[in-house]
């Protein structure tokens, strides 16, 4: 398995797509029930293949990712050939950016000496989607890039 298996809830949400996937494998509803009972390892393999297909479809369309923790914010712009990063570090240990109070402090003090910015870019490895997935596994979430774009204009990222 390349990524990770979809959760039970995700599979339930994608039930029509999973049924279509099984149909492309020439597996009927009755055959699927029999597979789950008689050959659970084969059924698990089918779920894994389906999960990877869904992840591939999602990841190829990801343009922006964000990872916000107590003292750091990382904003990623996933371009065609490279990933660009805007990193924000708050050097006030009393501030937790993951809370509304901490983020409100940041909005008022984003230009203060307690805030550091770093920009970087990195070429993808041979598997761009896997690079994105690893960031998601580390806590990043897919976004529309509003914060990245705002910071890009404020700190004049090239």
Q: Would you state the pLDDT for residue 154?
A: 84
Q: Would you state the pLDDT for residue 157?
A: 55
Q: Pairing between strand 115-123 and 82-90?
A: antiparallel
Q: Are 139 and 69 in contact (CB under 8 A)?
A: yes
Q: Would you state the pLDDT for residue 155?
A: 79
One domain for residues 95 and 74: yes
Question: What are the residues facing 75 on neighbouring strands?
Answer: 66, 86
One domain for residues 85 and 53: no
Domain of residue 73 covers 64-154
Spatial separation of the C-alpha atoms in residues 89 and 106, rounded to whole Å: 10
Would 2 be classed as within a structural domain? no
One domain for residues 108 and 52: no
One domain for residues 113 and 150: yes
Spatial separation of the C-alpha atoms in residues 131 and 70, rounded to whole Å: 23
Would 84 be classed as within a structural domain? yes
One domain for residues 99 and 42: no
CA distances for 55 relative to 2, 49, 116, 119, angstroms: 9, 10, 34, 28
Q: Would you state the pLDDT for residue 63?
A: 97
Q: Would you state the pLDDT for residue 118?
A: 94
DSSP state of 2: -
Question: What are the residues facing 20 on neighbouring strands?
Answer: none
| Regions of the chain where pLDDT drops below 70 | 157-158
One domain for residues 52 and 69: no
The total of structural domains in the chain comes to 2
Q: Is 39 helix (H, G, I), strand (E, B) or coil?
A: coil
Spatial separation of the C-alpha atoms in residues 34 and 12, rounded to whole Å: 19
Q: Would you state the pLDDT for residue 25?
A: 87
């Amino acid at each position: 398995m390349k990524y990770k298996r979809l959760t039970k809830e995700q599979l339930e949400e994608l039930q029509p797509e999973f049924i279509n996937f099984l149909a492309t494998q020439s597996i009927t509803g009755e055959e699927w029930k029999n597979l789950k009972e008689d050959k659970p390892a084969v059924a698990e393999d089918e779920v894994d293949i389906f999960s990877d297909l869904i992840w591939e479809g999602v990841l190829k369309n990801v343009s922006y990712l964000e990872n916000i923790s107590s003292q750091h914010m990382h904003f990623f712009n996933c371009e065609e050939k490279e990933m660009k990063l805007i990193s924000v570090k708050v050097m006030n240990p009393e501030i937790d950016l993951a809370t509304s109070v901490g983020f409100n402090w940041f909005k008022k003090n984003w230009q203060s000496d307690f805030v550091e910015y770093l920009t970087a870019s990195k070429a993808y490895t041979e598997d761009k989607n896997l690079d994105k997935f690893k960031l998601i596994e580390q806590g990043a979430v897919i976004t529309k890039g509003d914060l990245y774009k705002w910071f890009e204009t404020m700190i004049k990222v090239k």
